[in-house]
Amino acid sequence: MKKFGLTLLTAFVGGAMALGAYKVIENKYADNMSFEDKQKVYYATSNRLTPAPAVTGLSSAGSVDFTEAAAAVTPAVVYIRTTYSDQSDNDKQSKMQQMFGEMFGQRMRPSGPQMASGSGVIISPDGYIVTNNHVVEKAAKIDIVTNDHQTFQAKVIGTDPNTDLALIKIDGHNLPIVKLGNSDAVKVGEWVLAVGNPFKLTSTVTAGIVSAKGRGLNLIGSEDNGEDQNPFGRTQYQTQQPRLNKAIESFIQTDAAINPGNSGGALVNTNGELIGINSAIASHTGSYEGYGFAIPINLAKKVLDDIEKYGAVKRGYVGISFAELDQDKAKELKVNRTYGLYVSSVLPNSGAAQAGLQEGDIITKVEGNTVYESSDLQERVGRLAPGDKIKISALRGGDEKNFTITLKADAPAPKMAVTKSAEELYNKLGASFKTLSAAEKAKFRTHSGVMVAQVREGGVFDNAEIPIGSVITSVNKQPINSTDDIDKVLSNMNTSTVVFSGFYPDGSRLVLPFEVQ
C-alpha cells in the first residue's frame, strides 16, 4: 500500500471587533430638492448627501453597497428619551402605548418618574423631527440626543394617532437631515436599512429586504373589544367597523433587524432616502424575529405637513365602513368574489353617498389600481385632504361602475402657530393652538386669544375636559394672542399655579387652574 505523507496545516481563525465612526459630510454638499409642490421645502431638502446618480432599469434601492447610505443617514437619526411625571400617567396609557411601549419604548419601571426611549428622524435643518405617536404620547419631558452627542429638549408640535405619527421640534439650526424618498417606488425584495437606537445602542444600522407592502395589522386606533392573541404572541385589539375605518395602516414589512428602541427610526433605501418610519414588530418575545413594519413615507408626508401648518391632520373621508373580502367572508356575505372591499354601510351626506356608492357594492379599484385589502384604499385616501377627489370602481351585481368621490372633512383642523420654548410644561398641557381670526374674535367678543386646535390624551386639557374649539384669552392674567405668548408666561412664572382663562366653544366662561409640579 502506497504511503502518502500528510502535512497538517493549522488554520487560525480569529474574530476582530471593528469600531466605526460616522463621518459628518461637509455643508458644501447640501442640496435642496422639492419632492412635491404641496410640501414645505424643508421636507424635501437633502442633508449633507451628494445626490445619488440616476440608475436606469433598477429599483429605488440603487446599488447594494450600504456604506454611503449608512453614513448619510445616521447623523440625522436621534435618540429620544421620554419622562413621565408619575406612575399614574403610566397606569393611564392607551392601548397603543401599552402595546407598542413595551415592544419599542423600553419602558423601565424603577421607583420615581417613569422613562422610555425610542428614535426619531430629523427632517428639517431647523429641528423638526418625525417619530411615532406612541414614542412621545403623554410624555412630560422629551430629551433628544443627536448623533454628535448634543442634547436638546423637544416640544410636541402635533400628533396623529390614526397613523401613529408625531412631529416634534428642537431649537436647532444647520442640523443634518434625511432626504425623503418615494415609498410608492419601493419594491418587494429590494434592500433596505433600518437605522435607530435598539436597546439604547445609538446609531445602529441593520440591513434586510422589503418583505411585503400594504400590510395591515389592526393595531392603530383600535378599541378594547376583548383580547385575541395574535400568532406572534402579542395582543391585538380589533378595529370596530362603526369607526368608519379612520385608522390608516399600510405598513412596509421588512426583515431588517428591528428591536426595542428602533420605534420612530428610519427605514431607508440604499440611496439613503427615507422610505418609512419604523413602527412595530411581530414577535413571540418582543424582540427581533424577522417581522418589522414601517409607515410609508408618502403617507407620512401629508400627515407631517398638515401638523406643521394646522396643528392637526386635515383628513378627508370617503364616508363608508367596509369589510375586507376573503374566501370565508365572501361565503358569509354570499358574494362570488374573494378579494376587494365589501361596503357594509354608507354615511348619509358623505362623499360616497353623494357619488352614488351603495351598501353591498364591492370596491375593486382605486385610481385604476386593483384593491386586494383595506390598505389599498386607506393609504391612498390618507394622503388626500377634504375637497380632493378620488376615483373608485365597484361591482354592483355583475357590472363594474365608476365613481368620482369628493372627500368630506371629518372635523375642522385650524391653522397652528409653532413655538420653541417652555417645552416640558407645554407638553404637559397636551394641547395645540391656533391664532384667532378677526371673525372668531368677534364671535367670542374678545380682543385676544388662541383657539385649542388639538387635545391629546392624558394631558392637562384632556383631564380637564377642555374641548377643541375652546378659546384661551389669558394665562395668569396675561393676554394671549399666540403660542409665543403662552411660552413667555410659562417661561417666566413666579408662582406654582397656572390659570388659563377664556371661553368654551358655546361661549361660556372657562377657567382652568393647575399646579406645576
Smallest Cα–Cα separation from 178: which of 307, 311, 33? 33
Element containing residue 424 per DSSP (H, E): helix 423-429
Task: Tell me the C-alpha distance between 106 and 110, whole Å.
Answer: 12
Task: Tell me the C-alpha distance between 299 and 303, whole Å.
Answer: 7
Smallest Cα–Cα separation from 252: which of 203, 288, 217, 204? 217
Catalytic residue among 89, 143, 160, 164: 164
- Count CB-CB contacts under 10 A for residue 313: 25
**134 is annotated as an active-site residue:** yes
**437 is annotated as an active-site residue:** no
Burial of 54 (0-12, 13-18, 19+ CB in 10 A): exposed
Which three three-digit cell numbers place residue 158? Answer: 402635533
Beta bridge partners, 78, equal 120
Catalytic residue among 60, 263, 374, 448: 263
Task: Tell me the C-alpha distance between 136 and 89, whole Å.
Answer: 13
Which three three-digit cell numbers place residue 453? Answer: 386646535
For residue 407, give the 3-state DSSP assignment: coil
Catalytic residue among 117, 134, 361, 448: 134
Burial of 110 (0-12, 13-18, 19+ CB in 10 A): exposed
Which three three-digit cell numbers place residue 106? Answer: 423600553
Contact 482, 421 (CB under 8 A): no
Element containing residue 98 per DSSP (H, E): helix 95-104
Angle of helix 297-310 versus helix 374-382 axis, rounded to 10: 40
**410 is annotated as an active-site residue:** no
CA-to-CA separations, 32 to 55, 171, 200, in angstroms, rounded:
20, 21, 32
Within a 13 Å sphere around the CA of 198, how many CA atoms are in the beta-carbon half?
20
Quick one: CA dihedral 241, 244, 246, 248, positive or negative?
A: positive
For residue 256, give the 3-state DSSP assignment: coil
Residue 287 neighbours by CB under 8 Å, 6+ apart? 259, 260, 281
Contact 220, 161 (CB under 8 A): yes
Task: Tell me the C-alpha distance between 81 and 108, whole Å.
Answer: 12
Task: Tell me the C-alpha distance between 165 and 341, whole Å.
Answer: 26
Element containing residue 328 per DSSP (H, E): helix 327-333
Within a 13 Å sphere around the CA of 184, how many CA atoms are in the beta-carbon half?
9
Contact 184, 323 (CB under 8 A): no
Q: Report the catalytic residues.
A: 134, 164, 263
